[in-house]
Chains A and B, each alone.
Chain A
Amino acid sequence: GAVVSQHPSRVICKSGTSVKIECRSLDFQATTMFWYRQFPKQSLMLMATSNEGSKATYEQGVEKDKFLINHASLTLSTLTVTSAHPEDSSFYICSARERGADRDRRKLFFGSGTQLSVL
């Protein structure tokens, strides 16, 4: 099956620093990338949707200036948490939609997630 590589898997940082998370589709082209956040014992909540070459669309309540998303190519999207604070500590997961997938929801593939801990 298609593989989505997400790095790093775990990051611990000091409050006020910025953290970049990478999401790569290894054997397919991803026209759309979704970024989710998951707090302990909670569901995955969509943060933003990005299409290659376009600005990301953020969900209500998600700060655009805090969570910077770049989708510069069909195989790479990055999420940068700027000036991270302890309340940003969470599990971040990307999902990539395969190019040409049309309506097939089976063509959505998830990364393995990044556990962010802000001290």
Chain B
Amino acid sequence: QKEVEQDPGPLSVPEGAIVSLNCTYSNSAFQYFMWYRQYSRKGPELLMYTYSSGNKEDGRFTAQVDKSSKYISLFIRDSQPSDSATYLCAMSVRDRGSTLGRLYFGRGTQLTVWP
């Protein structure tokens, strides 16, 4: 079983739709949760960053973490064609020397927002 599971999609929605992206994980030691956006053949860029459980909102983006269910979500409101990309969830354990900064990624969900 992979440590981080993410449905690869593809997901195609009309402009203005609310998009819901999700990941599940098995390692209860994960404490840091991130969402990255990756355009084709480019490096990931950080969108949202959450420590432990709870919600975080930034503009049109909302990240939710439910540690009891080992489930995280990213919501995109009023989606735009420019949001079309692959969205990767990533997680990290609490600091331990050699693992500091190491991320575990989901496969990524490919999103297309059509006008």
Contact = CB atoms under 8 A, between A and B. Distances in A.
B102 A46 contact: yes
Given A43-B4, A43-B108, A105-B32, A111 B43 contact: yes
Interface in A8-58: 9, 32, 34, 36, 41-46, 49, 57
A6 interface: yes
Contact of B41 (A41, A43, A110, A115): A115
Contact of A110 (B6, B43, B95): B43
Interface in A81-119: 91, 93, 95, 97, 101, 103, 105-106, 108, 110-113, 115
Interface string B57-88: 00000000000000000000000000000001
B5 to A, nearest CB: 10
Given A6-B43, A113-B41, A115-B41, A46 B4 contact: no
B74 to A, nearest CB: 16
Interface residues of A, number: 28
A106 B105 contact: no
A43 B107 contact: yes
Contacts of B101: 32, 34, 49, 95, 97, 101, 105, 108
Contact of A49 (B34, B94, B102): B102
Interface in B98-113: 98, 100-103, 105-108
B46 A93 contact: no
A49 B107 contact: no
Given A32-B100, A105-B34, A110 B45 contact: yes
A4 interface: yes
A108 B103 contact: yes
Contacts of B106: 43
Nearest to A4: B43
A102 B34 CA distance: 17
Nearest to B46: A106
Nearest to A41: B8
Nearest to A98: B101
Given A57-B98, A97-B101, A41 B107 contact: yes
Residue in B4, B36, B42 with the greatest tally of chain A CB atoms within 10 Å: B42
